[in-house]
Structure 1
C-alpha cells in the first residue's frame, strides 16, 4: 500500500496536476483564440492543425517511445538515446513539413495560406516534437513531475500569445500562426536546454538509430492512425459544411477532449511501469494494470459526461453567441471519453508487452474506417455524422483491443 501511495504521489499526482494545468491553459487559449478569430478564421486553423496532428507521430518515427522502453528497462546510454531521437525528429519533421506544403500548394496556392501552413508545421512537427522527445526522457526515468512542467511551460507561452492577439485585436489565422510558432520555439529552446543538463549532452549513433526506427515505426504508425481517427473529421467537415460549422464543431470537440486530461495523465504515469511489467511478465501483467485503470476511467468518464451535458449551455457566454451550435455538439460528444479511455488503456497494455504490430494494425484499420465513415455520414448528417463516426471508431477500437488482449492471454 505504501509503495502504491508513493507511486501515486511521485508519478501520477504530478502528471495529473500538470495535465490539469495544461488543460486549463489550453482551454482558456482555445476560448480566447476562438473568440478573437471568429468561426471562419478559426475553422481555417482547425483544418491545418488536424493535418499536423495526424502527421506529428511520424516526426521522430517512434524513437521517443523506444527511448522510454529502453530507459525503463535499464538502458544507461541516455545521451545517445536523446541525440538519436532528436536527430530523427528534426530530419523527419523537415521532410513532413515539405510534404504538407507541397500538398497545400497543389490544393490551394494562395501564398498567405501557404505561409500559415508553414508556420504551424514548423511549430508542431519540429518544435512540439522536440518538447515531446524531451518529455519522454523523463518518462523513462520515472521523473514525471519534471515532464509535466514542460507541457505547462509550452502551454503558458502559447497562452501568452493568445492574450497578445486579444489585446492587440489581431483577428486573422496568420496572426495566430505567428504567435503559435514563437511560443513553441521559445518552449523548445528552454526545455531542450534543461534536458541536456540531465543527459549531459547528446551523441548520435546512426546504426542504432536505424535499429530503433525499425521497431519504433510501429509506434509512429499507431499514433499517426490515432491522429487520423481523432482529427480527420475537422479536415473533412469543411468539404460539406461552412468553415463556421467546422469552427463550432472543433471548439466543442476540443473542450470535450480536454476533459480526458486526468485519464491521459494516469496512463502516462503508468507507462514506464507497464514497460517494465511487459519486459518481465508479458501481456498478462500489463493487461491487469490496464484493467484496474479502466475501472477508474469509466467512473470518471461517466461523471464528467454528465457535467459536460449539464454545463454545455454556458459555452456561448464564454466564447460568444456565434458558437451557439457548439452547445448541441458538446452534448452529443459528452460521453466520448469513456470508450476513448478504454481503448487507450488496452492499447498501452499491448504496446508495453511488445505487441506494437498488432496494436498498430487495428489502429490503421480504425483510421481508414474513420475516413470512410466521415465522408459518408457528414454528407448526410452534417456535424452529427462526425459525432457518429467518432463514437463508432472509439467503440470499435475498444472492442478490438480487448479481443486481442483476450486472445493473446488465453
Structure 2
C-alpha cells in the first residue's frame, strides 16, 4: 500500500521525485524535531537552567568543529552519486575513512582547546565523550542522510535523520528513569552512548540501500582532502556562526545565561528544519543540472518555497513563544523573551541558506566561503562587545545583524553572476 502511494505521488507532474523526497525529508525532520524537543524538555527539567547551560555550552564547542569532520566529503558524495548512483559504494567507503581520520584529529583538538582556553566546561572525560558523539558518531548519521538523498531514497533519509536523536533520547530517558541525578557528566555519557547506537543504525540503512563500502574503489586521501577543502571551510564558517555565541556566553555570562538562551535558540531551530530538508534534497539535483535552464527554474521554485515557509514559520513561532516556560519549567521563564527576539532571524536565515546553496552548486563556493567567513568574524566581534553591554540580548542582535549581511552578500554575488552570464 505504501509503495503504491509513493508510485502515485511520483507520477504526479506537480510533485515528482524532488517534491516527494522533500516531503519525506520534511516529515523525517518533523519527527526529528519532536524527538529533539522531547530531549530538550527532558534535559531542561532534569538538569535545570544552570546544569543545562553548562552541558549545552560544552556541546557547542564540539558542534563548532563538527563541520570540519569528513573534510567536505558529504558534498563530494552528493556531487558524484547525484551524477552516477553506481559510485555510492566507493564514496561511502571514502566518507567513512575520512570521518574516522578527521574526527579523531578534531577530538584531540577539542580536548586541547578545552584545557587551554575554556574556564567553564565539563570535565575532560565528559568533553572526550561529547567530542566522540559530535565528531565521530553524528557525522556518520549525517553522511547517511546525504547518501540516501543522493540516490533519491527519501524514506531512508528520513530514518537516518532520526536515529541519533532517538538513540540519545532513549539512553538519557533510561538513565533518568533509573533514578540517577541529572549531572552534566552523566548526561554526557548517555549522550555518547545514544549517538553510537544511532550511528550504527545509520550505517545499517546505507547497507540496506546497497551502499556496501567498496574499500578498493574508494578515492585517495590526498584527492579527497584536496577536493573537499573548500567545502570543509565553507561548512565551518557557514555553520559555526550560530554556535560560537554560546561558547562565548558560557565564558562571559555563566551557565544559567547559556541555558535560558540556548533553550530558546534550539526551539527556534526546530522551525527552520524544513528549510534544511529542502536544501539537502535539492543539493544533488542542483549539482546535476548546473547552470542549465532547468536548473535556473528549479532554483526559482526553491527560492519561492523557502521564503513562503519562512514567513509562516515566523508567525507560528511568535505565537508559541509564551508557552516555553510551560514546557521547559519555571527556570526557563526568560527563554520566552529570547525566543520572541529570535523570531525575526528565520527569514534572513532562509534567504541566506538558499543563496549559499545556489552559490555552491553554481561553482561559486569560494565566494560563499568569503561571505560566511566575514559573517562569522562579525558574530565573534559583536558578541565580545554586546554580551557585556546587553547581556544575552547581545547574542540575538549579533546573530540578526550578521545573518542579514550574509544573506545580502550571497544574493549580491548571485546577482553579479547572473549579469555576467546574461552578457556572455
Give SS of 1:171's match. Answer: coil
Q: Match of 1:195?
A: 206
Farther off after superposition, 209-218 or 199-208: 199-208
2:185 to 174, 193, 198: 174
Shift of 1:302: 2.2
Instruction: Kindly indicate whether the alpha-carbon contact (under 8 Å) linking 1:64 and 1:133 is maintained by their aligned counterparts in 2.
Output: yes
Normalising by structure 1, what TM-score?
0.94
- Kindly tell me: are residues 140 and 209 of structure 1, through their superposed partners in 2, closer, same or farther at Cα, counting changes over 3 Å? farther
Give SS of 1:230's match. Answer: coil
Farther off after superposition, 134-143 or 227-236: 134-143
Give SS of 1:236's match. Answer: helix
Matched, 1:114 2:118: no
Q: Match of 1:345?
A: 354
Shift of 1:161: 2.2
**Structure 1 CA distance for aligned equivalents of residues 121 and 82 of structure 2:** 46
Q: Match of 2:223?
A: 211
Instruction: Kindly indicate whether the alpha-carbon contact (under 8 Å) linking 1:158 and 1:184 is maintained by their aligned counterparts in 2.
Output: yes
Q: Match of 2:335?
A: 326
Q: Match of 1:66?
A: 76
- Kindly tell me: are residues 288 and 365 of structure 1, through their superposed partners in 2, closer, same or farther at Cα, counting changes over 3 Å? farther
Matched, 1:25 2:35: yes
1:407 to 403, 416, 422: 416
Q: Match of 2:23?
A: 13
1:383 to 392, 395, 400: 392
**Structure 1 CA distance for aligned equivalents of residues 57 and 76 of structure 2:** 30
Give SS of 2:247's match. Answer: helix
The within-5 A match list for 1:37-76 is: 37-74=47-84, 76=86
Give SS of 2:214's match. Answer: coil
Number of aligned pairs?
Answer: 407
Deviation per CA, 1:93-137: give whole Å up to 9, x if none: 000100110111224699961111100100110001111122222
Instruction: Kindly indicate whether the alpha-carbon contact (under 8 Å) linking 1:10 and 1:145 is maintained by their aligned counterparts in 2.
Output: no
Unmatched 5+ stretches in structure 2: 1-10, 420-424
Farther off after superposition, 258-267 or 72-81: 72-81
Instruction: Kindly indicate whether the alpha-carbon contact (under 8 Å) linking 1:196 and 1:202 is maintained by their aligned counterparts in 2.
Output: no
Q: Match of 1:237?
A: 249
1:253 to 254, 261, 265: 265
Matched, 1:302 2:314: no
Q: Match of 2:422?
A: none
Matched, 1:164 2:193: no
Matched, 1:362 2:371: yes
Instruction: Kindly indicate whether the alpha-carbon contact (under 8 Å) linking 1:340 and 1:398 is maintained by their aligned counterparts in 2.
Output: yes
Cα RMSD for the two superposed structures? 2.0
- Kindly tell me: are residues 288 and 399 of structure 1, through their superposed partners in 2, closer, same or farther at Cα, counting changes over 3 Å? farther
Instruction: Kindly indicate whether the alpha-carbon contact (under 8 Å) linking 1:286 and 1:350 is maintained by their aligned counterparts in 2.
Output: no
Normalising by structure 2, what TM-score?
0.91
Farther off after superposition, 295-304 or 226-235: 295-304
Unmatched 5+ stretches in structure 1: none
Instruction: Kindly indicate whether the alpha-carbon contact (under 8 Å) linking 1:287 and 1:405 is maintained by their aligned counterparts in 2.
Output: no
Instruction: Kindly indicate whether the alpha-carbon contact (under 8 Å) linking 2:61 and 2:247 is maintained by their aligned counterparts in 1.
Output: yes
**Structure 2 CA distance for aligned equivalents of residues 205 and 374 of structure 1:** 46
